[in-house]
Amino acid sequence: MIRIGPMAVAGKIELSTPVESLKGVGPARALHLGRLGIRTAGDLLEYFPRNWEFVAPRTDIMRLEAGRDATVVGIIESTAVEGHPRHRRFEAVVVDDTASLTMVWFGQAFLAGRLKVGQVIKASGKVTRYKKRLQMANPKFEVVAEGRDEPGGLSPGGPVYPATVELTSGCIKGIIGQSLEKLLEQVEEFYDDGFRERAGVIRRRDAFRLIHRPRNAADVEAARRRLKYDELFLMQLALAIRRRWILDSAAAPPAVPTAEIDRRIRRRFPFLLTEDQNAVIGEITSDMSRNRPMNRLLQGDVGSGKTVVALYAALLAVARRLQVVMMAPTEILAWQHFRSCERYLKKSRVNRLLVTGGLTGAERRQALAAIAAGRVDIVVGTVALLHRDVRFRRLGLAVIDEQHKFGVHQRAGLRRDDGCHCLVMTATPIPRTLAMTVFGDLDVSTIRSRPPGGCSVVTRVVGPEMRHRAYDFIRQRLSAGGQAYFVYPWIAGTDEAGALKAAADQYRRLSADTFAGFRVGLLHGRMPSRQKERVMADFCRRRIDVLVSTVVIEVGLDVPNATIMVIESAERFGLAQLHQLRGRIGRAGTSGEPKRAYCLLFTEGGGEAAEKRLRIMTRTNDGFAIAEEDLRLRGPGELFSTRQHGLPDLKIADIIADGDLLRMTRRHAFELVEQDPALADPAHAALRKALFERFGDSFELSRVA
């Protein structure tokens, strides 16, 4: 929001003036405006219309064309009410000096009492063709007062604002209109003429005038482009400054690879790395070879082998006598990472340690002493590693998995020591436009291909009427030695306790009835750490046939023998999360024999739209395609909330629809920071002020987004 400039003095309107001080706004209206997020004059200026209506120019009836909007003025020659009594329509034949035109208003027979033969009306709408004749359906109209050639009241068009019962669009339009010129005087320009010409945008003050008082659709388009550009540019500017700050303010210990180190690391993996993995390793080792901190995002689909790449980076750091911390958002994922380390580092001299909230006081003190003394090479853990009492002797690399699941305060805590390289990982493929916002200050590496050895996953949508057949199929697979997950969501409108209760109730029902004779286990986030580890270990060792769980298993639990995933209330999930859950099955096993896996999306109905969305899951296993579709359907706010990434909500820009503009603003912002990293040039004073004003207290948090 705009709140630049001092408070109002002697009646002068400033952008920070409380909205109740404006003309036409009293205490009651100020209260209603506040509920719309409008508390200052600047907020009012940035309350953008949701639509604009324009009246086409007047045209002689003889010159009308089907399919085009037009305005005509003529005399009503005849009227009639036609149609079935329940679906009456009013028709009027209007003539001017050139021809006649039929106008029809469906379901508005009452107009017979308002429009009479001999009246002159001005009507505006779309011209259509019906039975080889032109007509105008449901046009807007008004009667021309006697003695006048043209009516004066029909608006030439204008903005339509998001409204409420208490505040209509017209009311908001009137409030803005009364103060607009004075508010425009306070709008500062960000760019010089040359910059605006290169960006193809109009002046900022003109943009605000035209967004609220456009003459035509071209005015609206020019205004929207400029305001969208500013919104995206400020966001990218913050990210560019954050990136520059990382590169310039801290040094990281270099970890230079050698052919011998590379050979020793690769020997730890009983398989050949994929082409994508090797390419990403090249990017990471290039970063780590420098004394400037690496700040890289590693994204890849589920099962693409990100953990192996992260472990390569960790072993490179250890080879150079540096410590590594690997942090995950949940104990289950931390446990899985530690389990991977144990598998690949068996009989090695690399010391590794798992630190979670489940350690006793004595165990934690002993662990922290070992870390501080440098006796531990790789530390794996959760947010427990963010406590100030955790000290490293020489931290060289921080690996953060599923970073978007951390809050910004937690990520800021982990990065309090900028003297180390940082590798962020996510198994949620991120569309490019979203990556340029949520992770816009990071270099991005992507693994698209999957290692050989995994199995194909067949996905089916299962309605209530098909569940009995699905249960029969699952029992057959279990009898053949397979294992299955049953996952319950946190359902919108319920709390975590509700989800846990649903999982617990299902656990009891499946144990006693559906899968009687099989071993059924329960896993959820509120279990004590040691109990969760015991359940996971039992499932991995095939001591549990069916694991009933909340979404706590969304990331982290790899059990190659588990080839069935049942997701209850699947219509309540986003596509990206469904894909994450599906990624728990079809994992590569040690035998190298691929098995077919099945993901069953149990639904409770939800309508045609919900089923159509779920069908996308049955057509593709490509996480990137699914992520793009999920972003299109749900928007970025659902995938990565503002609270998490520390960036303000967008008021007018759309990172999906405005992807080209986003890429342009990113290029321009990074070029500007390269030339003037602190925006110290007097020519950038207004831009600098707007940047800090827009981000407020969260500007520091945006640096860790």
Q: Is 136 helix (H, G, I), strand (E, B) or coil?
A: strand
Q: How confident is the model at residue 207 (pLDDT cuts 50, 70, 90)?
A: very high
Q: How confident is the model at residue 629 (pLDDT cuts 50, 70, 90)?
A: confident
Q: How many CA atoms lie within 13 A of 194 on its CB side?
A: 1
pLDDT at residue 78, as a whole number? 95
Q: Other C-beta atoms within 10 Å of 325: how many?
A: 24
Q: How confident is the model at residue 2 (pLDDT cuts 50, 70, 90)?
A: very low
Look at residue 274 and tell me whether its pLDDT is greater than 50.
yes
Q: Other C-beta atoms within 10 Å of 303: how many?
A: 23
Q: How confident is the model at residue 1 (pLDDT cuts 50, 70, 90)?
A: very low
587-611 residue pLDDT tens: 655 444 556 899 999 998 767 778 8
Is 181 exposed, middle or buried (CB count within 10 Å of its CB: 0-12, 13-18, 19+)? exposed
Look at residue 170 and tell me whether its pLDDT is greater than 80.
yes
Amino acid at 575: L
pLDDT at residue 491, as a whole number? 42
Element (H, E) at 286: helix 275-288
Q: Which of 36, 276, 40 is CA-nearest to residue 164?
A: 36
Look at residue 134 and tell me whether its pLDDT is greater than 90.
yes
Question: What mean pLDDT, rounded, does the chain reach?
Answer: 84
549-572 residue pLDDT tens: 887 665 556 787 889 999 998 988
Q: How far is it, in rounded angstroms, from Cα 547 to Cα 486?
A: 6
pLDDT at residue 554, as a whole number? 53
328-351 residue pLDDT tens: 888 878 888 898 899 999 989 999
Pairing relation of β-strands 483-487 and 597-602? unpaired
The pLDDT of 432-460, averaged and rounded, is 78
Amino acid at 410: Q
Amino acid at 686: A
Q: Which of 445, 453, 452, 432 is CA-nearest to residue 312?
A: 445
The pLDDT of 487-505, averaged and rounded, is 63
The pLDDT of 217-246, averaged and rounded, is 91
pLDDT at residue 454, as a whole number? 61
pLDDT at residue 152, as a whole number? 47
Give alpha helix (H) positions in 289-387.
306-319, 331-344, 361-373
Domains belonging to the chain, first-starting first, are: 1-52+169-184 (no CATH), 56-154 (2.40.50.140), 259-447 (3.40.50.300), 457-620 (3.40.50.300)
Residues 425 and 399 sit within 8 Å (Cβ to Cβ) = yes
Look at residue 509 and tell me whether its pLDDT is greater than 80.
yes
Q: How far is it, in rounded angstroms, from Cα 642 to Cα 649?
A: 7
Q: How confident is the model at residue 403 (pLDDT cuts 50, 70, 90)?
A: low
Look at residue 319 and tell me whether its pLDDT is greater than 80.
yes
Q: Other C-beta atoms within 10 Å of 32: how many?
A: 16
pLDDT at residue 497, as a whole number? 57
Segment among 358-362, 426-430, 456-460, 497-501 with least mean pLDDT: 497-501
pLDDT at residue 453, as a whole number? 61
Q: How far is it, in rounded angstroms, from Cα 71 to Cα 139?
A: 9
Q: How far is it, in rounded angstroms, from Cα 270 to Cα 254?
A: 28
pLDDT at residue 244, as a whole number? 83
378-391 residue pLDDT tens: 999 987 787 778 89
- Mutual orientation of helices 217-249 and 204-212 as an angle, nearest 10°? 140
Give the Cα-Cα-Cα angle 692, 693, 698 (nearest 5 degrees): 65
| C-alpha to C-alpha distances, 281 to 337, 478, 509, nearest whole angstrom | 18, 39, 47
**Which two tokens mark 471?**
């249960």
**Which two tokens mark 145?**
């007062």
Q: How far is it, in rounded angstroms, from Cα 699 to Cα 701?
A: 5
pLDDT at residue 390, as a whole number? 87
Residues 314 and 378 sit within 8 Å (Cβ to Cβ) = yes
The whole-model pTM stands at: 0.70
Give the Cα-Cα-Cα angle 289, 291, 293 (nearest 5 degrees): 95
Q: How far is it, in rounded angstroms, from Cα 381 to Cα 472?
A: 40
67-102 residue pLDDT tens: 998 999 999 999 999 988 878 999 999 999 999 999
Segment among 225-239, 291-305, 411-425 with least mean pLDDT: 411-425
Q: Is 558 helix (H, G, I), strand (E, B) or coil?
A: coil
pLDDT at residue 7, as a whole number? 41
pLDDT at residue 10, as a whole number? 45
The pLDDT of 129-140, averaged and rounded, is 91
Look at residue 544 and tell me whether its pLDDT is greater than 90.
yes
Segment among 221-230, 426-435, 617-626, 653-662 with least mean pLDDT: 426-435
What backbone phi and psi angles, to 5 degrees, belong to 452?
Answer: -70, 155
Segment among 6-20, 70-84, 124-138, 639-653 with least mean pLDDT: 639-653
Look at residue 492 and tell me whether its pLDDT is greater than 60.
no
pLDDT at residue 65, as a whole number? 93
